[in-house]
Chain A
Amino acid sequence: MERLDLHNTRQRTIAELRSRMRAWERGASGNSMDACSMGCGALDALLPSQGVRQGSLVEWLGEGGASGAGTVSLIAGCRVCPQGRPLVLIDAHHDLFPLSLALLGFDLSRLVLIRPASEREALWACEEALRCEAVGVVWANIERITSTSFRRLQLAAKGSSGIGFLVRSAKALQQPSWAEIRLKIQPRPSLRGSLCFRVEVVSSYENLHHPVVDIMIDSLKGTLHGHTASTHPLPLVSRMDVATADHRSTGA
């Protein structure tokens, strides 16, 4: 007869109760626990579900302009978006460049760009898009979001099992958030022409400590990779075209 292990049973019970509480806090239903990969193992590992959970929001925070938060989140959003579903990009700053999006792998025929006149309109559009089950990913760069509005966005995402990526400045760290995870992006010195970033989890439902990973964007393919000193996804001599050609030109 198998001996009853009280210690293990208690641990299992606590773990189960904890997961139920988390699910209750997040309002997660059974079928919305599917996680989508961002195409970068190191980045996925930061998230509690090893990927972006459907029906959740992810906040990307960057310090000032050219922080890379927008670029990293766009690449991740493109990979996360389920096959055949449209992407809705809410471009509150009116400066997203579709040619660059195409080079990063976006299918422009399944992309809608919304350029609202105000942040209020941007917030409304974001909520509407998140509420629509047909949309794969909603990406928005909205700076000011009140706690109530944030909760509405989270409920909209939860209701439709959609995914929302919100790009904001690091000042938003002082504000409350209903995102499942908040990631802070800091640019790092580039490596052989590839952009490098440090991604830090600044708040998460699961991780009480703040894990950090270094990632890089492959300058040729526009894909995300984990970056450590020992593992480099690119050959030692990358951008042979740049190395050999002193002067490139584009003309009609």
Chain B
Amino acid sequence: MRVGMPVLEARTFSRSQDRLVVEAVQPPQDRQTLVELALRCERFSFRIGVEDADRPESILMDVTGIAQFFSGEQGLAEELNRALANRRYESRIAISETVGSAWVAAHFLAGPQQPVVIPAGELRRLEPLPVRGLRLHDATVTKLQRLGIQTIAQVSALERASLVRRFGTEIVARLDQFRGQQPEFITPCHPLPTYRAERNLEDGICHPAAIEQLWSLVLRQLLDLLIPKRLGTRHLECQFVLEDQTLQPLSLRLCEATNDQRHITELLRLQQERQRLSAAVVGLQMEALDVAPLDPCQPELFDRDAPSHARQYAVLLNRLSSRLGEEAVLVPCLLPDPIPERAVRMHGVSEATPAGSTPFATRFHGLDRPTSLFPEPRPIEVIAGLPQGPPAVVFWQGTRFDIVYAADPERIESGWWDGESVCRDYYWLETTAGQWLWVFRRLQDHRWFWHGEFS
């Protein structure tokens, strides 16, 4: 029997004397049962959750530092297996150094009564297993199988840039999770404690100093919940309750968890400078959403500046993000796309660490791309010395550039699978004044555009 099989077809498997009970699939109940089972296994892990999928079928457990209480990881796995068997569950258990590798080992290596432990550094043992073990979508697995790719080892041997181009980031991300190069977090199914504080006023206030006094009080109240547990917040959400019964949000994201009242106050003040409240404030709710233990900051014996520099840098980024907005403080990440405007993705500094840059090609040289790329290509008029040749004169908004040298063209085009078709011939042009312009001819309509320069 398989998922999606019609009931009538399934009935053909039963014998005439069998008493057959047909029940509809109930995904929410399945999930709830899995969560209840996970909660019963809490003595085996400090952090236990259900896998993040539409139809979860696995329980994820972080057993770091737990194994010693069960005479090793094998002992832990066997004890867990016994506990589940006592409840009449048939389980497949695997312990490995990453969630991805444990998942594949549990599904393709472990047996009903045979837990598997993959020692650290031996992930290669799992590479001959089927590519389905990477938790890919069915469509992706089908496509890979049609290309003759059956195992994790085969997909690992493919070039990353080519994988991204053909399949998007799904396979690369799953491979990185499998190898532990991309973090994967277990969302605990135990309800997390909430950290929030609020204060309501009888009369509305609108003076900035009074409002600051209000959020200082509420912040103090909130931090009093975090400080005793040595917790800090990375995301603070404030809701100003206004006299006209509307809520005005104020969100603060931080690069690292902190419970430093002075620092948070300063950041809130910078945010508030940009905010205009439409009515008097009659209340404030403040909630710490992303709560995490504080990073230990023991100073180095010899290099005492190192930790303080990291802290100072985080403080700087927080301040810049608060005052200028998260969209203004960016970390660039290269993408394997030949189209210049699609070759870079910008991330906010407070976002989770993005995957490493995967530039389109390493064959580029130092000056192959301009240091300034205009947000929009500028339409230009050109006079060419030869038909279909490079420009000899360029006009842009009344400015004339006489060209003394034009490099050979570089054709940049998108793949047919990318949707919008881009096909351009790019030229480096040197003007009589020594300036270098990066222009292109759009091959669809032979129009010319100025796209960048060495600023």
Asked if residues B372 and A70 are in contact (CB atoms below 8 Å), the reply is yes
B:244-302 near A, CB below 8 Å: none
A95 and B408 contact, Cβ closer than 8 Å, known pairs A117-B328, A217-B367: no
CB of B349 within 8 Å of the partner chain: yes
Asked if residues A103 and B364 are in contact (CB atoms below 8 Å), the reply is yes
CB of B29 within 8 Å of the partner chain: no
Interface of chain B: mostly helix, strand, loop or mixed: mixed
Asked if residues B332 and A111 are in contact (CB atoms below 8 Å), the reply is yes
* Chain A residue with the shortest CB-CB distance to B329: A114
Q: Tell me the bound Cα distance from A195 to B343 in angstroms.
A: 24
Q: Tell me the bound Cα distance from A245 to B408 in angstroms.
A: 8
Asked if residues B361 and A250 are in contact (CB atoms below 8 Å), the reply is yes
Q: Tell me the bound Cα distance from A79 to B411 in angstroms.
A: 32
Stretch at the interface among A132-140, A143-151, A202-210: A132-140
Q: Tell me the bound Cα distance from A101 to B369 in angstroms.
A: 9
Which chain B residues border A217 with CB–CB below 8 Å?
Answer: 366-367
Asked if residues B370 and A100 are in contact (CB atoms below 8 Å), the reply is yes
Asked if residues B319 and A128 are in contact (CB atoms below 8 Å), the reply is yes
A219 and B367 contact, Cβ closer than 8 Å, known pairs A70-B455, A108-B333, A133-B309: yes
Q: 1/0 contact trace for B304-332 toward A, CB 8 Å?
A: 01001110110111011001110111111
A103 and B366 contact, Cβ closer than 8 Å, known pairs A114-B324, A193-B407, A250-B338: yes
- Minimal beta-carbon separation of A109 from chain B (angstroms): 8
* Chain B residue with the shortest CB-CB distance to A69: B455
A248 and B411 contact, Cβ closer than 8 Å, known pairs A100-B371, A114-B324: yes
Query: In the complex, which range does the number of interface residues on chain B fall in?
Result: 35 or more
Partner of A249, one of B330, B374, B410, B418: B410
Q: Tell me the bound Cα distance from A189 to B402 in angstroms.
A: 13
A190 and B309 contact, Cβ closer than 8 Å, known pairs A65-B453, A97-B370: no
Which chain A residues border B340 with CB–CB below 8 Å?
Answer: 97, 99
CB of B229 within 8 Å of the partner chain: no
CB of B204 within 8 Å of the partner chain: no
A:69-99 near B, CB below 8 Å: 69-71, 74, 85-86, 93-99
Asked if residues A86 and B313 are in contact (CB atoms below 8 Å), the reply is yes
CB of A121 within 8 Å of the partner chain: yes
Partner of B404, one of A99, A114, A189, A245: A189
Stretch at the interface among B17-25, B167-175, B183-191, B434-442: B434-442
A220 and B372 contact, Cβ closer than 8 Å, known pairs A248-B411, A250-B361, A252-B418: no
Which chain B residues border A85 with CB–CB below 8 Å?
Answer: 309
Which chain B residues border A220 with CB–CB below 8 Å?
Answer: 365-366
CB of A119 within 8 Å of the partner chain: no
- Minimal beta-carbon separation of A121 from chain B (angstroms): 6
Q: Tell me the bound Cα distance from A86 to B454 in angstroms.
A: 23
Q: Tell me the bound Cα distance from A102 to B365 in angstroms.
A: 10
Asked if residues A108 and B357 are in contact (CB atoms below 8 Å), the reply is yes
CB of B415 within 8 Å of the partner chain: yes
Q: Tell me the bound Cα distance from A134 to B317 in angstroms.
A: 11
A218 and B324 contact, Cβ closer than 8 Å, known pairs A97-B452, A108-B357, A187-B433: no
* Chain B residue with the shortest CB-CB distance to A132: B316
Q: What total of A-B pairs shows CB separation below 8 Å?
A: 209
Partner of A134, one of B313, B331, B414, B435: B313
B:141-200 near A, CB below 8 Å: 165
Q: Tell me the bound Cα distance from A97 to B453 in angstroms.
A: 10
Asked if residues B317 and A112 are in contact (CB atoms below 8 Å), the reply is yes
CB of A54 within 8 Å of the partner chain: no
Partner of B411, one of A74, A103, A251: A251
Q: 1/0 contact trace for A211-228 toward B, CB 8 Å?
A: 000000111111100000
Partner of A74, one of B371, B408, B435: B371
CB of B368 within 8 Å of the partner chain: yes
Q: Tell me the bound Cα distance from A133 to B454 in angstroms.
A: 30
Asked if residues A248 and B410 are in contact (CB atoms below 8 Å), the reply is yes
Asked if residues A121 and B434 are in contact (CB atoms below 8 Å), the reply is no
Q: 1/0 contact trace for B40-81 toward A, CB 8 Å?
A: 000000000000000000000000000000000000000000
CB of A201 within 8 Å of the partner chain: no
Q: Tell me the bound Cα distance from A186 to B373 in angstroms.
A: 21
Q: Tell me the bound Cα distance from A133 to B314 in angstroms.
A: 12
Partner of B454, one of A71, A93, A125: A71
A187 and B343 contact, Cβ closer than 8 Å, known pairs A128-B316, A195-B367, A222-B367: no
Asked if residues B408 and A242 are in contact (CB atoms below 8 Å), the reply is yes
- Minimal beta-carbon separation of A165 from chain B (angstroms): 13
CB of B6 within 8 Å of the partner chain: no
Which chain A residues border B83 with CB–CB below 8 Å?
Answer: none
Which chain B residues border A223 with CB–CB below 8 Å?
Answer: 366
A-B contact pairs, 18 of them (CB 8 A): A66-B435, A70-B455, A97-B340, A102-B334, A103-B366, A112-B331, A114-B324, A115-B328, A121-B324, A124-B323, A129-B320, A132-B312, A133-B305, A186-B434, A188-B434, A190-B434, A219-B366, A221-B365
